[in-house]
Every structure is written in structure tokens, then in C-alpha cells.
Amino acid sequence: MSTNMPIALPQGFSAHVTNLGIKDSSDDLVIISAASPIAASGVFTKSRFAGPSVLISRDHLTNGSAQAFVIISKNANVANGSQGVDDAHEVVGLVARHVDCDPTDVLIASTGVIGRPYPMEQIRGGFERIGTGAGGATLADVARGMMTTDTVPKIAAATIAGSTALVTGAAKGVGMIEPDMATMIATVLTDADMPADRLDDIFRRVVDRTFNCVSVDSDTSTSDTAVLLASGAAGIVDELAFEDALEQVCRSLTKQIAADGEGAETLIEVRVDGARDHGQAKRVAKSIVNSPLVKTAVHGADPNWGRVAMAIGKCSDDTDIDEQRVVIRFGDRELFPRQVGERELAELSDYLKGDEVLIHVSLNIGAGESTVWGCDLTDGYVRINADYTT
């Protein structure tokens, strides 16, 4: 489904998006809700500095259901002690009153600067202004309300084969991205009817193949949250078809996040096959996509395949990786072990100037494979993060 057209939310959902004045005049509050508790799944950061939003949502999801999901952007509410916990619970209570549900049926996510308390006076005043009732926000509105340093909203949608049911998703995130669970903030909605336990199993599998395969700067956020809500309004669907549509949406969001990495100019896709297993393939791929030397080589359109070889070699615990078996390619052009002439290197430099670059490595050990996504490292990334709080 094209994301160039306005995308409505799946049946059974409504959304309210507005500005509370947390940082500036841009939208900073998103509330997604259903008429009653529905099946839900969430995957969260493993950070030891996880914020109250993560801790509360984990707890509220233990029964596999939720009725509302609130996202506050421009403030992460992390490392604020008991005040941060109390403030997060108060926000949950405000949302519960807005939606008319139990506070334990509300999930919460926060994103932005760490170590600054919520401006609760603005938040309370904002909720008084919006009152109660459903909102008519579109998926793009939701994505814009989640943004911090993102340059574009990130949305995706797919129809589940054999049905009229939809899967839609919105995400934010361009920095502090090397998830150990899912991704920065992602909200995925479907009107398919799926039992909570199956929803959770499928979502976790898809997360591992998509959101867990993106990296911008090798730093794990304190607030990473990915939530999937299923209203059931479109009826029962085939599980395999549902998983396929869900993966389409999550993979699209993953690639959009990587392409919009802070200061990024090039999307890097790293594909590793012929590994002992999926785990080894993913380790090697992440080593490559996280290498500052690989990232800067791509940025400079320098076909220095030796940096890829270096990144593979860093996986020193994988003693079955044998240099004599490894094949390294940029695009479909083999660079190692065959010899590459100056003319080919010049052509590869032109290839690296494109918007997307594929680095393809074959280990020739077994049948394991993995694909991960990242971006080049530019002076823009340094400028954005040097001045992030000032």
C-alpha cells in the first residue's frame, strides 16, 4: 500500500495528536485508543537505565491486553528518580480519564532528552484543553507527533492477504539507535483478530528480523518501545498472511529509520549469508554496519573493502570464520578474494554515491543468513549530537 496517500487507522482505533508545549510548538502528544481492552504486545529496551514509561508499560502488558497507548515526545522522562515515576503514572491517569478506561489498560512511551522532568503544568493544561473523546488523526499525524530530531515522519501499511484486514505502523528514531530489543518508538496497529499469545509470539519473531536489525550509531536508547495492538474488528485472518504483512510494515519502518539516521545521506544494507546459523550471520552483519570506518568509507564513496574485512575479523569468537572462504561484495560486484582493478574501483565509487548501498558477505560455512540496515556517518551527525541539549 502506498504511503504517499493519507492512511487512516485500521478499524477499531482512533487517535488524538496535539501540542502540549513540552519543548516547542510542534505536536508532542499522541493518544491511540480502542473502545475496550484489546490484544496487545510490546517489546522494550534492555537498558539498565530504562525509563518509567518502559517499566509501567511492561507491567501493564502482563495480561496481554491494553486499550490506549500514549506517546510523549521531546522529553524521555528518564533518570528523574521517584518524581519521574510519579509523573509517568499521572500521565497514565490523565489518559485513562480521557479514554474512559482503567489506568492499567494504558501503555506509555516517552522520547527525547534524558534527565529532564516532564513539564507537568503544561501537560495538565494540555489535557484540560483536549477534554475527552476520540480523535480523527491519521497515521501520518501519529508519526509527526512522535518525532524528535527525525526529518520526516515514518509510516507504512499493508493489507493481509485473503482478507480486508490491515497492518499499519508509525515509528520515530534517528539517533541513539542500536536496539537490543526493538526500536526507538514504534506503534503498529491491526484490525485482525488474533489471540494475545499468538500476537506476542509473531510480533517478537518479526521484531527480531526487522527492528532488531537496525543501527545508526551503536548506542541503545533508555526508552526503546515497540507496541502492537490488534482490535479484531476485521475478523480472523490466516496467521502466515498476518505475519507476512506485519513483517512488510516493520521492515519498511526499519529501513526508513536507518535512512533518516541523524545526518545520514546513504542507507546501508548489509546482507550476510552462508553463516553457521542466523545468530552468527547477524553478529557479523552488525559488526560491519556499526563500524565507523565502514560508515565513513560509504559516506566518502571510497570502495575500501578492507574495512569490511576488518569488521568481519573483529568477530574473533567465531573461530569457524575462515578468510579463505569469505566473499565480500559491494552491490553485485565481488571485491574479495578476486583482484579488483582501478577501473572497477572507480565504478564502485560511483555506486557508493547512490542513496542506497548493499554490502554482501558470504561466509560459506552453512545456511545461516541475516540482513541489517544502517547509514553512513557524516559531519551532520556530529553537529546534531554536539548541540543536542543546547
Active site residues: 183
Cα R_g (the chain), whole angstroms: 22
Are 146 and 30 a contacting pair, CB within 8 Å? yes
Are 298 and 352 a contacting pair, CB within 8 Å? yes
Closest CA to 345 of 293, 297, 300, 302: 302
Question: How far is Cα 183 from Cα 178, in angstroms, rounded to an integer?
Answer: 8
For residue 366, how many other CB atoms are within 10 A of its CB? 14
CA 234 to chain centre: 26
Is the Cα dihedral 306, 312, 314, 320 positive or negative? negative
Cell numbers representing residue 95 in the block: 489518559
| Helix axes of 52-60 and 81-99: crossing angle, nearest 10 degrees | 50
DSSP 46-73: --TT--HHHHHHHHHTTTSEEEEEEEEE
Closest CA to 231 of 167, 156, 154, 139: 167
CA 263 to chain centre: 17
Is the Cα dihedral 117, 122, 123, 124 positive or negative? positive
Query: Can you give 275-334 as a three-state secondary structure string?
Result: ECCHHHHHHHHHHHHCCHHHHHHHHCCCCCHHHHHHHHHCCCCCCCCCCCCCEEEECCEE
Q: Could you tell me which residues are beta bridge partners of residue 172?
A: 185
Question: How far is Cα 242 from Cα 219, in angstroms, rounded to an integer?
Answer: 31
